[in-house]
Structure 1
Amino acid sequence: MNRITRTLHTLTMASTLAAGACAPTGAAPAPADGPAPGASAPAAWEWHTFTGPVGTRRYRLYVPAGYDASRPAPLVVMLHGCTQDPDDFARGTRFNEHAQRAGALVAYPEQLAEHNPQKCWTWFDRAHQAADAGEPALIAGITREVMASHAVDPSRVYIGGVSAGGAMAVNTAAAYPQLFAAVGVHSGIPWRAAGDVATALGVMRNGPARDAALTDSARALLRASGRESIPMIVFHGAADVVVVPENGRRLASQWAVAAGARDFLRGDSTEGGLGYTRDRYGPLAELWMVEGLGHAWSGGSAEGTYTDARGPDASREMMRFFLEHTRP
């Protein structure tokens, strides 16, 4: 492990353990609720391997019980965080359960230690922030492979992730704005807030610099792609000491302001023993700031790592937000 990677790992793990956010990994349960009554096929949870011009990655694919190849389904691509893997991430988020209810497929690309010693997606490297190169190209390739091998509605393809995976989800959606209808980010970073490790560490600890560059870059991308917006839902723990909450606030506003959002509504509530504030920028963006939550998936399962059973169910709300949007 080199000095840079060791620094990132030490910061992430020490802060998370101090916040009590890391839960032990348990035995893998069934992939979802099980076959629905009268379903024509059981749920599937299988490994696949994608190989493209920029490399090879494995991915887990969840196909819901009752999947019907004659009826195109939504597809969600979910990116795990550092030290995690697709099985751990699926267990902790219970995302497959929500996919079962929605009749959606879910692909979980895998980042191995051979690519990053802590299995982090390389969101902070400029080589992984654009199309046709690096990890965004691999993830887009996996997405297209699933679309080619299964009946997928091309207007209902979504991407989400947590922490480094959340930041890479934004990178990938920005690199391929004609592929994804909406984005979901938990504990993430604004798009292109960092281009190297030193800046990444500063952003994680202190939040991004307060300037207009973040919004300007998002606005320019939308203009160049011909899209009016990239709808985004953001969850963040108000007690996160690994990726400070200002990152979530700036990420949501970055894309809402870039898209010209004019309607703003704030509401406060409590769920799962934790209070939260929900900011809505019309239909374009939502920010859920959860009080007392550290660097952990809100409303998650203790059978996965970096989860907290308290708070609103981030997986439920991400799936709800996704299905409210179709790609133009």
Structure 2
Amino acid sequence: MDARQMSAMVEATRLTRHGRLVEATALIQQTWATSPAARRAPDGQGPGEAGGASSRHPAPSRLLPAQGGQQAQGPSAWTHGLNAFSSRRIQDPGLSPGLAAPAAKRPGGRFDAFSYTGAAGTRAYRLYVPTGSTGGPLPLVVMLHGGTQDAATFAAATGMNELADRQSCLVAYPEQPSSANPGKYWNWFVPGHQRRDAGEPSLIAGITRQVMDRYPVDDTRVYVAGFSAGGAMAAVMAAVYPDLYAAVGVHSGLAYAAARDVASAFAVMRRGPSRPARSPVTPLPLIVFHGDRDVTVAYGNARFLIDQAVAAESPDRGAVTTPTAVTSGGQVPGGHAYTRTSYRGAGGTTVAECWTVHQGGHGWSGGDPAGSYTDPRGPSASAEFLRFFDEHPAGASAC
């Protein structure tokens, strides 16, 4: 970080503390977009992008930071018939920022548009309703997109609607508007958006409850997940609404309360956290995916997330014993190797699971390049998230 960037960071922090977030964001955007590294970056790849990830938008490092495989063994209601996404040669479609987002694939269900209004404002969202969903209560997965994305690009990137159609679950995609953040990042690093019944968490929870009110949702199988800024906000939601969600998935994200302003957000993204983990009071089962070559959100943030989860299940927090780590690995044919580490409580239930995608950058593992920020050569994060969620209904105990 050069002197000009450091000066901009100090000023952005001052603006943020005075509630002038839009001005702070614009300053950061302008400073990083005109940096020498940004000018040297080739078309379609920003200075913060790692090789091996396909992107249709400016790299997050040009904007405000992320504010914002192997199949599981044994069939279940969700995982029967899931196949890992095929390994594809990563290609840059070459679309410029501002072009219309690609429509999410629709394997047969409905991808409807709604909005929710609460005390903190209004948020639009998209809801995928799978084919033949007229029967009993269904699981609900709330998916939070990363910066510069929207519901359509995120659904296309993750392929979650296709899997939801096969496994009969609802998927909601809240959208962050540019009026709340110019880069459409969830404001995960702002204290006012890290609390229950306030700010963006209240709106995401309101969307979740609205879907539960309007559709036949199994309230023991409501989950939240996200990527990058959305992953960081998913961690916030899990921390402040443990009674609403049953488990959480974080892909290339950051831990709850890892930052308190713009300056600390940049620091934790670049280098990982430098202070002890602040564990949620009531932790939820957690699955994490992260590429170990991610230069946008440092891989150390995955370790921090896991440390939070494991610390919350320690004997001094009432658990019978500290979770035991069980590690295995694999290789996607023609793609990345990966390591899966599960942390199991006294009863054998997995309380946390970390997938390290070796040589993976800042992209959704196993995703489709029709969306943005994807790494098709990794194991399918979408399939593994659904498998993990299926194993963790609300009320399951690790002790």
Shift in CA distance, 8/96, structure 1 to aligned 2, threshold 3 Å: farther
| Distance in 2 of aligned mates of 1:30 and 1:315 | 15
Structure 2: gaps spanning 5 or more residues? 1-24, 39-44, 57-94, 96-100, 315-321, 345-349
* Higher mean C-alpha deviation, range 16-25 or range 50-59: 16-25
Superposition deviation, residue 80 in structure 1: 0.3
Q: TM-score by structure 1 length? A: 0.89
Shift in CA distance, 266/20, structure 1 to aligned 2, threshold 3 Å: closer
Shift in CA distance, 29/242, structure 1 to aligned 2, threshold 3 Å: closer
1:112 matches 2:160: no
Match of 1:289 in 2: 356
1:265 matches 2:326: yes
Match of 2:289 in 1: 235
The question of whether the paired residues in 1 share the 8 Å contact of 2:50 and 2:362 is answered with no
Q: Secondary structure at the match of 1:19?
A: coil
The question of whether the paired residues in 1 share the 8 Å contact of 2:150 and 2:175 is answered with yes
1:277 matches 2:352: no
Amino acid at match of 1:105: L
Superposition deviation, residue 327 in structure 1: 1.1
| Distance in 1 of aligned mates of 2:172 and 2:288 | 20
Q: Give me the identity figure in percent.
A: 48
Q: Pairwise mapping of residues 148-167 of structure 1 onto structure 2 (< 5 A)?
A: 148-167=213-232
Superposition deviation, residue 2 in structure 1: 2.1
Match of 1:300 in 2: 367
The question of whether the paired residues in 2 share the 8 Å contact of 1:238 and 1:290 is answered with yes
| Distance in 1 of aligned mates of 2:296 and 2:308 | 21
Amino acid at match of 1:279: T
The question of whether the paired residues in 2 share the 8 Å contact of 1:57 and 1:111 is answered with yes
The question of whether the paired residues in 2 share the 8 Å contact of 1:23 and 1:303 is answered with no
Amino acid at match of 2:355: W
Match of 1:170 in 2: 235
Match of 2:28 in 1: 4
Shift in CA distance, 29/110, structure 1 to aligned 2, threshold 3 Å: closer
The question of whether the paired residues in 2 share the 8 Å contact of 1:27 and 1:303 is answered with yes
Amino acid at match of 1:322: F
Q: Secondary structure at the match of 1:294?
A: coil
| Distance in 1 of aligned mates of 2:115 and 2:104 | 23
Match of 1:37 in 2: none
| Distance in 2 of aligned mates of 1:89 and 1:21 | 15
1:54 matches 2:120: yes
Amino acid at match of 1:44: R
The question of whether the paired residues in 1 share the 8 Å contact of 2:140 and 2:223 is answered with yes
Match of 2:382 in 1: 315
Amino acid at match of 1:274: H
| Distance in 2 of aligned mates of 1:16 and 1:6 | 15
Shift in CA distance, 108/239, structure 1 to aligned 2, threshold 3 Å: same
User: Pick from 300, 306, 313: which aligns with 1:252?
Assistant: 306
Superposition deviation, residue 301 in structure 1: 0.3
Superposition deviation, residue 106 in structure 1: 0.3
Structure showing greater radius of gyration is: 2
Match of 2:212 in 1: 147
User: Pick from 140, 148, 162: which aligns with 1:75?
Assistant: 140
Superposition deviation, residue 5 in structure 1: 4.5
Match of 1:128 in 2: 193
Superposition deviation, residue 256 in structure 1: 2.1
Q: Secondary structure at the match of 2:361?
A: coil
Shift in CA distance, 57/29, structure 1 to aligned 2, threshold 3 Å: closer
Shift in CA distance, 164/8, structure 1 to aligned 2, threshold 3 Å: farther
Q: What's the RMSD between the two structures over aligned residues?
A: 1.9
Amino acid at match of 2:124: R
1:22 matches 2:48: no
| Distance in 1 of aligned mates of 2:364 and 2:288 | 12
* Higher mean C-alpha deviation, range 11-20 or range 171-180: 11-20
Structure 1: gaps spanning 5 or more residues? 35-42, 223-228
Superposition deviation, residue 267 in structure 1: 1.2
User: Pick from 167, 186, 192: which aligns with 2:257?
Assistant: 192
Shift in CA distance, 203/29, structure 1 to aligned 2, threshold 3 Å: closer
The question of whether the paired residues in 2 share the 8 Å contact of 1:5 and 1:117 is answered with no
Superposition deviation, residue 19 in structure 1: 3.1
| Distance in 1 of aligned mates of 2:255 and 2:51 | 22
| Distance in 2 of aligned mates of 1:275 and 1:74 | 31
Superposition deviation, residue 6 in structure 1: 4.1
Q: Which runs of 4+ in 1 moved over 6 A?
A: 8-13
1:66 matches 2:132: yes
| Distance in 2 of aligned mates of 1:302 and 1:22 | 6
